[in-house]
Amino acid sequence: MNLFLKRSDNTYEWPGYGDNIRIFDWIIRRLTADEKNTAVITPIGLIPQEAAMQLELNTARRIYEHAMGASNIPKGIDEEFCEAMKRLSKVA
């Protein structure tokens, strides 16, 4: 995982903090004794099984709330969560 890899247009290849937290969560859970079978062996190394990744928006929000406190989430991030929930509710 290279968080600093850039594309030819000088933007970062890695999507950003919201996706970083998912991969760090997976890495931490991989290091625990309970979750050793969460990876697939590939030619480039171990990658997460699809079911092993925390992809739910509510999970991401809980991670932010736990890290910052529910009342301390920056307004911009809170607005992004709300807008994403609105978009997802239209799809579901």
- Dihedral sign of CA atoms 21, 26, 31, 35 in order: positive
The tens digit of pLDDT for each residue in 11-51 reads 777 666 666 777 777 787 778 766 567 788 888 887 777 66
Q: What is the mean pLDDT of the chain?
A: 76
Which amino acid, 65? E
